[in-house]
Structure 1
Amino acid sequence: MDRNEIEKRVRELNDLLNEYGHAYYVLDKPLVPDSVYDQHMQELLSLEKQYPDLIYPDSPTQRVGGEILSGFGKVVHEFPMLSLSNVFNEEDIRDFDRRVRAGVGGEVTYICELKIDGLAVSLKYENGLFVQGSTRGDGSVGEDITANLKTIHSIPLKLTEPVTIEARGEAYMPKKSFVKLNALRDENGEEPFANPRNAAAGSLRQLDPKIAASRNLSIFIYGIGGDGSAYGQDSHSDSLDYLHSLGFETNSNSKRCKTIEEVIEFVEAWQEKRQSLDYEIDGIVIKVDGYEDQEQLGFTAKSPKWATAYKFPAEEVQTKLIDIELSVGRTGVVTPTAILEPVRVAGTTVGRASLHNEDLIKEKDIRIGDTVIIRKAGDIIPEVVMPIVDLRTGDEQPFDMPDHCPVCDSELIRIEGEVALRCVNPQCPSQMKEALIHFVSRNAMNIEGIGERVIEQLYTSGLVHDVSDLYRLTKEDLLSLERMGEKSVTNLLSAIEQSKKNSLERLLFGLGIRHVGARAAMILSEEFGTMDAIAAADEERLTSIHEIGEKVADSIVTFFGNEDVSAVLKKLKDYGVNMDYKGRARSEVPSEGPFAGKTVVLTGKLSILTRNEAKEKIEALGGKVSGSVSKKTDLVIAGEEAGSKLSKAEELGITVWNETELVEALGEKE
Structure 2
Amino acid sequence: MDIDGLGDRFVDALVEFDMVHTPADLYGLTVESFVRMKALADERDGSTPETVKQGKVATKWAENLVASIEASKKSTLPRFLFALGIMHIGESTAKTLATWLGSLAVVRRTPAPVLRVLPDIGDEVATSIAAFFEQEGNEKVVDALLAAGITFADEGAPSPKLRDRLGLDVLLDAAKVPKLGPKSTALLAKTYASVQELVSAGEHNWIIAGVPSAAAANLWAYISDPTNYRKLVNDYADMAWLLDQLPAASATALPLEGHTYVITGTMETLKRDDATERLESLGAKVAGSVSKKTTAVFAGEAAGSKLDKAKELGVPVHTEADLLALLAEHGAAP
TM-score range, shorter chain: 0.3 to 0.5
Greater per-residue strand proportion: 1
Q: TM-score, normalised by structure 1?
A: 0.22
Q: Which has the higher contact order (CA 8 A, sep 6+)?
A: 2
Larger Cα-atom Rg: 1
